[in-house]
Structure 1
Amino acid sequence: MSAPAEPTRAPDEPDTQQLPRLVRAMAVVERVGNALPHPFWLFWVLSAILAVISAGLAAAGVSVIAPDGEPVAVRNLLSGDGLAMAVSSMIDNFAEFPPMATIVTVIMGVAVAERSGLLAAAMRVGVARVPASLVVFAVAFAGTVAHVASAAAYVILVPLGGLAFRAVGRSPILGIVVAYTAIASGYDASPVPTPNDAIFAGITTAAARIVDPAVTVSPVSNWFFNIASSLVLALVITLMTRLVLAKRPDLDVDPDAPDDDLGRLSLEPAERAGLHRAGWVLLGALVLLTAAVLPSWSPLRGEAGGIVESPLIEGIGAVIALLFGTLGIVYGRRAGTITAAADVPKLMADGIRQMAPVLALFFAIAQFLAYFDWSHVGDVLAVVAADALRTTGIPIPVVFLMVLAVLTVVNVMVTSGSAMWSIAAPVIVPMLMLVDVPPETTQALFRIADSGSTAVTPMSPYFVMALGFLQRYRRSAGIGTLASYTLPLAIAMTLVWTALFLAWWMLGIPLGPGAPVR
């Protein structure tokens, strides 16, 4: 009896049975993720699902007792009242979406700083002027600071990481991995307030108002925690790189890899002068702001001289935008990238154009959140889940770990932080508020989930971009290659960051100005 014929395959077709498990797992993630609709359409699909659920619950007469003691019944989105609400409030939902005005304002200021070259120059100095022994920490910490430039952080810092490592005689492959992982898996741990802080704060505010209409979450509500997180994560990357990645035998570059121009790490005289001038202006601005806030009678203080609930904190988005815009103008004038006053609004407009896809997504998110609020489905889910937590007696730290695990898995498929938080926040924030967890604390927990797995998922467009930089030094590198480099770092960062969060919560340290952790 003859043996069965082996299946044939094209000469250039890979033998999937021989692929490493990690590569096959990444391929599965990529296929499943690609099957999901664009986040814009995802929210309309979710709105349709919500409408059907609300109709069923309303028909069943489902209701709960709200925290204020009043009964709350589910309302049918498919009813005449639901249709009237959806049509009449569509524009208001978008215009009043909490992150909208803040994020547009912040982006205009940050765009001036980025497009004038200030942020790129600061990053280059940050990774170039350090001794060889500190280059890993410098690149890792620069990755957390670079988030102020949003997506541009990847474009600027990832190749600079390779250059910085090669400049001190280390593998540029390692430099690319360190820079990319620091940005991706530490994306929400910036010591400097970023546009993401404004987006998350707005979404958290909208979710928290399901329980308490008076709640407002500030863009700096997690600032103290973010500062500590950025330092801790940079240390974790440094230790894991030295103890694990640096010992890998596959860090050699291809013999014919391009010899990069290391001069790109240094600054031109005009750039250096612009950076110095911007530094002095930053120092002066901080001194003036401090002097303006110190007197108890300062108009920037709130009632009874308070700082937490004050015009300064309420307008922190405008302060951040003004500061970045001013520094960008000062740098640009000296470096020659801004030659006329008319250049400034053009740079602001460029920033808004870059935000156009996000603004389109905000339109869909705003409608979904408005439907969720009007239907009271969020109230029911939050109250039922909170009652279940009280009944079962599950310790809050265990609840934190359960939420973190679920969101981390979701983040592998839905890599847009604003999209994922818009889906999760309307349920998780109210639920935890009803068991006495402040919305700022839930938001801090989300930051960990939104960051940790980002460095290993091929669903992130920046994963593919980082792979392109890696292939400059090793043409044979693939998805599995990059994931195998980033996975140990991402796991260690997530575990340590989670431990830091739990310790922060147990010690009762404020997460930011006016943001108690418990």
Structure 2
Amino acid sequence: MSAPSKPATPGTEPDRLPRVLRALAVVERLGNALPHPFWLFWILAAILGVTSAGLAAAGVSVVSPADGETVVVQNLLSGAGLAMAVSTAVDNFATFGPMGTIVVVIMGVAIAERTGFLSAAMKVSVSRVPVGWVVFAVAFAGTVSHVASAAAYIILVPLGGLAFRAVGKSPILGVVVAYTSIASGYDASPVPTPNDAIFAGITTEAARIIDPNAYVSPVSNWYFNIGSSLLLAIVITLVTNLVLAKRPDLDADPDADLDDVAGLELSPRDRKALRAALLSGLAAIVLIAVVVLLPSSPLRGEGGSLTESPFLDGIAAIVAVLFALVGIVYGWRSGEITTAGDVPKLMAEGVRQMAPVLVLFFAIAQFLAYFDWTHIGDVIAVNSAEALETSGVPIWAVFLAILALLSVVNVLVTSGSAMWAIAAPVVVPMLMLLDVPAETTQALFRIADSGSTAITPMSPYFIMALGFLQRYRKDAGIGTLASYTLPLAVCMTLAWTALFFAWWALGIPLGPGAPVR
């Protein structure tokens, strides 16, 4: 599914976007020059070592706002630094915040995905909807599909083309809407996802530079995510109907091998399995709600608190169990699970799928531990916060600057966990010193990590989406797909940013126990 040498035939829409094509070519060259994220973090660790040696030799220090003690930069290249790196390597990895959480969540999600429950749920969500609602249905399904992580692209993008074709709309537009809703809305989901666990763990590690007792829950942005997913689905619907639907190049090739629309239909057995799974999931949610809402519930915290409680501390395990439950019920009723032994096999397959991420986590965990040990983060955070305070720069301008910078970085570094691991140790403590909660900084990062994803050819899923697009239009190239996704991505980012500032201005909590300011 590689792109043809020419992005489009002469006279097509992409030919009228030479600047976009040149910019994409530059992005592709720069991105290809970057090393794999695993090696990128070791390179950053080496740069950190040299920097720490220079700052330590200069006697750079700062007064910690947490306890008033003087914090001195430590030399990572010293004997003490070497001893620290060697003696803590295993612990750094084993105690890395997202590690346990993401493995637990993935084991549950894997059952739901590999039995076919998630695929069936997506098919139902985009089929049998009125013509006027199909764009919104596909777009909103894209935000919900993030529970399946990368599998969302494989499942929903071709389904988007089928759903649009089924109601007489362009399948090209269906592919574009499905892909963009997943890519540029990747961190907005009404359902807690594995990414929530990863980001919360990294944010917690960064926040502890300032507050050793800091903790950011995987659902700390849940309310904001729900609002974001609805807003983005509406924006996609409006831009698609008012702008993209008026393009003259939406017809599939006359000789295109069109997929069978019947692929959206579920068999009677699968429909019954899906109904049973959804009912079991709903019953479990009701049961959990009843237990949690009891005044004397053991899942409540001290004084009956819900914001600091065993329930929120174990939310990742609860989400995993819910996905496992619906997956098991669906698999049993559909015939995908025939013996009890099938369940741990599916869980193991999910963990194996996460192996590349776990390898990356090893490098990230070491880098964050080195960064914390050198105290360079303290120096940058305190000095940057003091400079911003004395300069009188309004906090909204700081937010915009961070958002713009991270959005540009996201074009080249498409791994959200990798980018956040680099940025969080600097921006989270800095903004905490300006009285901005870590959860708020994480919400801001979500926008930057998502908005530009749909337009960067550095994302492997961009090329995959291009392959699906080429089923309907063989001469489509990188510029073709970018010209479709660019209006959507820009409008989604602008609307999402406006929502963030409205949320901030109104002081609405971002999630359970997570005030926005």
The two structures share one fold, judged by TM-score above 0.5: yes
Q: Give, in whole Å, the separation in 2 of the partners of 1:229 and 1:101.
A: 27
- Partner of 2:60 in structure 1? 62
Q: What is the RMSD computed on CA atoms of the aligned residues?
A: 1.3
TM superposition shift of 1:286: 1.2
- Partner of 2:88 in structure 1? 89
Q: Give, in whole Å, the separation in 2 of the partners of 1:308 and 1:17.
A: 54
Tell me if 1:512 matches 2:514.
Answer: no
Q: Which segment drifts farther, 388-397 or 40-49?
A: 388-397
Q: Give, in whole Å, the separation in 2 of the partners of 1:259 and 1:353.
A: 34
Residue 38 (structure 1) aligned to one of 36, 39, 58: 36
Q: Which amino acid aligns with 1:231?
A: L
- Partner of 2:425 in structure 1? 426
Moved over 3 A (4+): 12-19
Whether contact under 8 Å (2:108, 2:323) holds in the other structure is: yes
Q: Give, in whole Å, the separation in 2 of the partners of 1:426 and 1:18.
A: 42
- Partner of 2:309 in structure 1? 310
Q: Give, in whole Å, the separation in 1 of the partners of 2:19 and 2:398.
A: 31
Q: Give, in whole Å, the separation in 2 of the partners of 1:230 and 1:41.
A: 34
Whether contact under 8 Å (2:258, 2:471) holds in the other structure is: no
Q: Give, in whole Å, the separation in 2 of the partners of 1:129 and 1:321.
A: 29
Q: Give, in whole Å, the separation in 2 of the partners of 1:428 and 1:270.
A: 51
Whether contact under 8 Å (2:258, 2:472) holds in the other structure is: no
Tell me if 1:370 matches 2:369.
Answer: yes
Q: Give, in whole Å, the separation in 2 of the partners of 1:411 and 1:17.
A: 26
- Partner of 1:4 in structure 2? none
Q: Which segment drifts farther, 80-89 or 17-26?
A: 17-26
Q: Give, in whole Å, the separation in 2 of the partners of 1:483 and 1:504.
A: 30
Q: Give, in whole Å, the separation in 2 of the partners of 1:29 and 1:295.
A: 54
Tell me if 1:476 matches 2:475.
Answer: yes
Change (3 A) 1:153 1:13: closer
- Partner of 1:193 in structure 2? 192
Q: Give, in whole Å, the separation in 1 of the partners of 2:264 and 2:144.
A: 17
- Partner of 2:385 in structure 1? 386
Q: Which amino acid aligns with 1:342?
A: G
- Partner of 1:208 in structure 2? 207
Q: Give, in whole Å, the separation in 1 of the partners of 2:422 and 2:363.
A: 11
TM superposition shift of 1:69: 1.0
Q: Give, in whole Å, the separation in 2 of the partners of 1:267 and 1:84.
A: 59
Residue 21 (structure 1) aligned to one of 19, 30, 34: 19
Q: Give, in whole Å, the separation in 1 of the partners of 2:19 and 2:470.
A: 21
- Partner of 2:45 in structure 1? 47
- Partner of 2:464 in structure 1? 465
Q: Give, in whole Å, the separation in 2 of the partners of 1:20 and 1:257.
A: 27
- Partner of 2:274 in structure 1? 275
TM superposition shift of 1:20: 2.1
Q: Give, in whole Å, the separation in 1 of the partners of 2:409 and 2:279.
A: 44
TM superposition shift of 1:24: 1.7
Q: Which amino acid aligns with 2:311?
A: L
Q: Secondary structure of the equivalent of 1:89?
A: helix
Change (3 A) 1:290 1:17: closer
Q: Deviations over 1:417-475 (max 9, x none)?
A: 00000000000000000000000000000000000000000000000000000000000
Q: Give, in whole Å, the separation in 1 of the partners of 2:476 and 2:258.
A: 18
Q: Give, in whole Å, the separation in 2 of the partners of 1:206 and 1:389.
A: 23
Q: Secondary structure of the equivalent of 2:71?
A: strand
Q: Which amino acid aligns with 1:305?
A: G
TM superposition shift of 1:18: 9.5
TM superposition shift of 1:17: 11
Q: Give, in whole Å, the separation in 2 of the partners of 1:199 and 1:149.
A: 14
Q: Deviations over 1:273-332 (max 9, x none)?
A: 011001111111111111101121110000001111000000001000011001100000
Q: Which amino acid aligns with 2:485?
A: T
Q: Which amino acid aligns with 1:475?
A: K
Whether contact under 8 Å (2:111, 2:323) holds in the other structure is: yes
Q: Which amino acid aligns with 1:204?
A: T
Q: Deviations over 1:374-422 (max 9, x none)?
A: 0000000000100111011111111000000000000000000000000
Q: Deviations over 1:20-65 (max 9, x none)?
A: 2211211110000000000000000000000000000000000001
Within 5 A, what are the aligned runs for 1:3-22? 20-22=18-20
Q: Secondary structure of the equivalent of 2:186?
A: coil
Percent of aligned positions with the same letter in both sequences? 74
Q: Which amino acid aligns with 1:336?
A: G
- Partner of 2:353 in structure 1? 354
Within 5 A, what are the aligned runs for 1:159-198? 159-198=158-197
Q: Give, in whole Å, the separation in 2 of the partners of 1:98 and 1:211.
A: 16
Q: Where does the alignment leave 5 or more consecutive residues of structure 2 unmatched?
A: none
Q: Secondary structure of the equivalent of 2:354?
A: helix
Q: Give, in whole Å, the separation in 2 of the partners of 1:355 and 1:132.
A: 38
Within 5 A, what are the aligned runs for 1:284-295? 284-295=283-294
- Partner of 2:236 in structure 1? 237
- Partner of 1:6 in structure 2? none
Tell me if 1:439 matches 2:441.
Answer: no
Q: Give, in whole Å, the separation in 2 of the partners of 1:482 and 1:17.
A: 12
Q: Which amino acid aligns with 1:379?
A: D
TM-score (norm 1): 0.97
TM superposition shift of 1:129: 2.0
Within 5 A, what are the aligned runs for 1:91-170? 91-170=90-169
Whether contact under 8 Å (2:115, 2:331) holds in the other structure is: yes
Change (3 A) 1:513 1:482: same
TM superposition shift of 1:259: 2.6
Q: Give, in whole Å, the separation in 1 of the partners of 2:266 and 2:55.
A: 63
Change (3 A) 1:17 1:288: closer
Whether contact under 8 Å (2:115, 2:337) holds in the other structure is: yes
Q: Give, in whole Å, the separation in 1 of the partners of 2:15 and 2:340.
A: 62
- Partner of 1:409 in structure 2? 408
- Partner of 1:9 in structure 2? none
Q: Give, in whole Å, the separation in 2 of the partners of 1:102 and 1:195.
A: 8
Q: Give, in whole Å, the separation in 2 of the partners of 1:88 and 1:17.
A: 57
Q: Give, in whole Å, the separation in 1 of the partners of 2:212 and 2:258.
A: 59
TM superposition shift of 1:13: 8.4
Q: Give, in whole Å, the separation in 2 of the partners of 1:276 and 1:17.
A: 48
Change (3 A) 1:277 1:212: same
Q: Secondary structure of the equivalent of 1:64?
A: strand
Q: Which amino acid aligns with 2:32?
A: N
Q: Give, in whole Å, the separation in 2 of the partners of 1:13 and 1:262.
A: 30
Tell me if 1:223 matches 2:248.
Answer: no
TM-score (norm 2): 0.97
How many residues align? The count is 507
- Partner of 1:452 in structure 2? 451
Change (3 A) 1:451 1:13: closer
Q: Secondary structure of the equivalent of 2:385?
A: helix
Q: Secondary structure of the equivalent of 1:212?
A: coil
Q: Give, in whole Å, the separation in 2 of the partners of 1:142 and 1:379.
A: 41
